[in-house]
Amino acid sequence: MLSKQEQIMNYDKLLLTGNSVSLNEDFSIYSGMNSLSFSMNYPIRSGRVYIGLCLDGWIEMEVNLSKHTTRKNEIIMIFPNHFVFHHEISPDFNFILFSISSDFFKELSNDLRKYPLYFLFKQRFPSVLLQQAEMDQVLEYYHLMWQITEDNQNEYRKDIIKHLLTALTMSIHKYGSQQCIEKSVPKTRKDEMIEVFFSLIFEHYKEARDVLFYADKLCVSPKYLSTVVRKRVGKTPKECIDHYVILESRILLESNSTIQEVSQQLNFPNQSFFCKYFKKHTGMSPLSYRQTK
């Protein structure tokens, strides 16, 4: 039985069923995944890069602040430090997952640097819905990578997998970019501001929970930032910041850290302040939350 800390640190260890092949710690493929495979009772923070292919059924997931129902022929990409939570999963859910270490994915960067990867800049939800012919092409990559990874006698398999992953990622970029062009929705100054705002939250939410801090970084007034964020996201900037803080709080409370240590890691003035903050946003104290798990 995995400890809670082990589950939090490695998303792969939550994948309880299905077949898999692995290339050391660098790369793994999971196939035949179903609703039991993706059982999750609390949010986690991703430590790797994940590419998921939905073959049948659906899964309602939340990645960062965005909730989305991923359906057949849809691809999702999750990057390190993304907050992930599974809500509902259909009984006929069938999924394939590529799991890639951050270091291994960085090795692809030299080939990918000239492509403004669609998923790296999409803030609402990191997915793209494919046509059946496009998914069939992606599945060809999957079958080939499975065979290569399974062949332990192939001394070149790491390099081959690296190049195949590069080609797969470029294909996903192409599909996503084509959809953006077909929808003919140019990125506005407000869209760019929203993207930078969320990047700033990722970077500073542990020490900065005041909207003024982010407005100053963006060189706009708090009122203007609130108007734009509420219109685009449906939440206020403060709600967005608090959402990240609470997600991180829940993750840390699943670890072996004391509540005092969790409070310190999130830079609260003291444990009492943290407990009041957590209860305000969840309806229960940190201790009560921990006891329910």
Q: Where are the domains of the chain?
A: 4-183, 189-292
Confidence of residue 120 (pLDDT cuts 50, 70, 90): very low
Which is more confidently placed, 142 or 118? 142
Architecture, CATH, for domain 189-292? Orthogonal Bundle (1.10)
Q: How far apart are CA 136 and CA 142, in angstroms?
A: 10
4-183 and 189-292 share one CATH topology? no
193: Cβ contacts below 8 Å, ≥ 6 apart: 218, 220, 225, 228
Residue 9 pLDDT > 50, yes or no? no
Q: State mean pLDDT over 98-125.
A: 66
pLDDT value for 180 = 54
Asked whether the predicted pLDDT for residue 248 surpasses 90, the reply is no
Q: Taking the model in full, what pTM does it have? A: 0.69
Reported as a pLDDT band with limits 50, 70 and 90, residue 110 is low
Q: Is 71 left (phi over 0), alpha (psi -120 to 50) or beta?
A: beta
3-state secondary structure of 271: helix
Q: What is the pLDDT of residue 39?
A: 65
Q: At the fourth CATH level, which superfamily is domain 4-183?
A: Regulatory protein AraC (2.60.120.280)
Chain Cα centroid distance, residue 230: 22
At 158, the pLDDT band (50, 70, 90 cuts) reads very high
Whether residue 283 has pLDDT greater than 70: yes
